[in-house]
Structure 1
């Protein structure tokens, strides 16, 4: 996902889910790739980079549970109002609603908690 055409295709043709911290787009593909978009509305470069690092950390934590596909996260400035745990929960919920989390992985993790 390097060109504007690819992003426009994802925006127009694929599912999206809104949450407090970001908008998540998901497109089923063969490989797992992601992109994080943080505009200047989010803040200065320090805050935009911090937001990208937070999303990357969550994406890597959930990597094994995710279906193959392209993921685009568009950051909102409200991201910084959430703790890391709340942020992870919001993103995981969005991915679940989009059908991007493998069902067998959800059941295994919920059974381990009990």
Structure 2
């Protein structure tokens, strides 16, 4: 993801956790905060050490980033989104991650209709 689309600072993560609305399924928890002054969305990732070693955590983050990139045209602008991976994601492949993220995004109502 390009720099303007990332959340990296702890202050930004804490603001999303504090003010955001959470939505979850078995594999992911997402927090969403409206940012009407932004003309695009921003995404932050959190994968706990409980999920696995560094190789496993980085693999999960790569899969999530690829799914976000694939859905970039339908994610609503003006949102800060933090995605937290839960333990079952360690055994998931790309298509399961994609399906699960799409499901939780629909629950949170942050997807526009596909063009």
Q: CA deviation at 1:4?
A: 2.4
Match of 2:18 in 1: 12
1:13-39 Cα offsets, whole Å, 9 max, x none, are: 111111222211112222221111112
1:46-92 Cα offsets, whole Å, 9 max, x none, are: 01100100100110111101101111111112102333222211111
Deviating above 6 A after TM superposition, structure 1's stretches of 4 or more consecutive aligned residues are: none
Provide the aligned C-alpha RMSD in A: 1.5
The TM-score normalised by the length of structure 2 is 0.81
Task: Identify the structure with the greater helix proportion.
Answer: 1
Larger gyration radius, structure 1 or structure 2: 1
The TM-score normalised by the length of structure 1 is 0.82
Match of 1:37 in 2: 46
In the aligned structure 2, how far is the partner of 1:40 from the partner of 1:4?
Answer: 17
Corresponding position: 1:2 with 2:8: yes
Gaps of 5+ in 2: 1-6
In the aligned structure 2, how far is the partner of 1:87 from the partner of 1:3?
Answer: 25
Corresponding position: 1:77 with 2:87: yes
